[in-house]
Amino acid sequence: MLKAVLFDMDGVLVDSEEIIFLAARQMFHEHGITVSREDFKPFIGTGENRYLGGVAEKYGFAIDIERDKARTYEIYAQIAPEKLKILPGVKAFIKKCKSKKLKLAVATSADEIKMTVNLKAAGLFNGVFDVTVNGLEVINKKPHPEIYLKAAEKLNVEPFECLVVEDAVNGVEAAKSAGALCLAVTTSFAPSELTKADWIVKNLRYVPEKVLNW
C-alpha cells in the first residue's frame, strides 16, 4: 500500500538543470575551460561533486571540489531567484498527495544550500514536505539507493511503500534498487532512456490515477 512519495528535486520539482549548467559553465570559464551541455549529461542526478568532477576529469582539470563547488553555488544563488521555474503540475500533484494523507519527502543529490535556494524560490520550503534528504547526508550518491532508503527511514515507512518521482536515469536506478515504484518525468531524458521506471509521463500534469492508487 502506498504510504509516501519521495521527490527528486532538480528536473522534478523545479527546472534548474539549465541554471546549474550556466553556473558550472561560468565557473569552468573562470579557469579557462570551455564546456558544453553534453559534457554534463552523464552526471545529471549524481550530485554536484560528480556533476562538476566528471566534467573536470574529461578536460584534465585538477578541480578543487570544495572551492569550485562553492563558486558554482555562489553563481547559482545569484541567478536562480530570477530564472528558476517550478515545473508544470507540481503544486497540484503535491496537493493531491496531501489529500490522500501521503507522507512527502524531497530526496536530492544536491547539497543543502542548493536545495534550500531551489525550494524557497519555488515556494515549496516551509511545511510542504515532511522531511528532506540532501546529498551531504549520504555517502553513496545515485544510482546507489542510499538516499531513498534514508528518506523512507526518516518518514518511518518501508521503501516498498514509497513512490519515487524522478527525471534522471541514475535516479530511476536508485529508486528501483531501493525497492520503490518509480514515476519518471521526461524533463531531462527521453522516454527510451527511462524504461526502468514503472510509469513515464511528460510532467506531473499527466499522472494517471493508478500511480497514487495501489
Backbone angles phi, psi at 132, to 5 degrees: -130, 150
* Alpha helical stretches, state H, the chain: 17-30, 37-40, 48-58, 65-83, 90-99, 112-121, 146-155, 169-178
Match 515556494 to its residue by C-alpha cell.
123
d(CA 105, CA 9): 10
For strands 131-133 and 162-166, give the pairing.
unpaired
Alpha-carbon distance 54 to 121, whole Å?
Answer: 28
Grid coordinates in use for 56?
Answer: 573536470
| Three-state DSSP state, 195 | coil
Q: DSSP class of residue 5?
A: E
Active site positions, annotated: 8, 10
First to last CA, the chain: 5
Residue type, 204: L
